[in-house]
Structure 1
Amino acid sequence: MEVSLMFHASSAKPIDDSLSNIVEEIESQNPQLLVLSARQLRYSLHQTTVELTITEPRPFNVLEEFIIRAGIEFEPSPTANELASILGLDTVFVQSTIATLQKLQTLAQKSFITVTEQGRLFYEKGSVPQPPYTVQIHAITDSLGETVTFQGEPLNEVVINLLSLANILNIDFKINEISSLSLEQIQTSLQASGVALHVPETGKIVTAFRVIAPTQTIWRKISLFLIFDAKEDKICLQLRRGKQILDSRSKWLEILLSEGKLSLDALCKSSNKSINFEQEAVLKYKNSEIEAKLEKIRQQALKANTKQVIQLRDRQINQTFLEIVNRAKHQIIIYSPWVNQVLVNEEFLNSLQQLAKRGVGILIGWGIAQRQEDEESPILLEIAEKLRAIKTPEGLSAVQVSWLGDSHLKEVIVDREIYLCGSYHWLSSGGYQIPTGESVYQVTIPNQVQQAYEFLANRFQNYAQQLWAQALENCDAQLAVEAVCIWGALGMEEIAVTEIEKNNWLELLPIWLNTVLPALRSNNLPNDLRSFKLALSLLSQVTGEEIFVDLLREGWRQVINAIAIHNRETALNLLNNEVWSQFLRLQIVSKNDAPDDLILQQNVPQPKKDEPGTKPKKGQIEKKTRRKVKD
Structure 2
Amino acid sequence: MVAKHRKMNIIEEFIFKCINSGTPDLTNVEGITSFLKINDVFIRGRIQEFIKNKVLIEENEVLFLTDTGKDIYKKGIVPSNPKQETLMFYYEPMFHKWTLKGGDSYLPEGEELFPLYNEEKANEKAANILFDEQEIITIGNQSGAIFETESVQFVIDDIVVPYIFDYTYQRFGEFWVYDTIEDSIYCRVWDENQNIFREDIQSYLEEREAIHYRRKLQEEMQEREEYFHQIRRAFVQQQDQQKKKDEVAILRGLPIREAFMKSLKETKHKLMIMSPWISEKVVDNEMLRLFKNLADRNTVIYIGWGIAKREDLEDRRPTDALLSRLKQIRDKNGNQAVFVHWIGNHHTKEVISDHSYHMLGSFNWLSYRGDYNIRDESVYKIENLEMVNEAIQHTENLFLDLLENRKREIWTEEEVRGWMQEIIRLDTQKQRRYSLVSKVIQEVKEREELPLLHEICTLLITAKTSFPGLSDLVLYLLYVDNQSKQLHQTLRTVEELKPTLFQKISKEQQEQLQFIQYTPKSQRHSSKRKKKK
Q: Provide TM-score, normalisation by structure 1.
A: 0.39
Higher Cα Rg: structure 1 or 2? Answer: 1
Q: Larger RCO: Structure 1 or Structure 2 (Cα < 8 Å, ≥ 6 residues apart)?
A: 1
Q: Provide TM-score, normalisation by structure 2.
A: 0.45
Bigger proportion of residues as strand = 1
Bigger proportion of residues as helix = 2
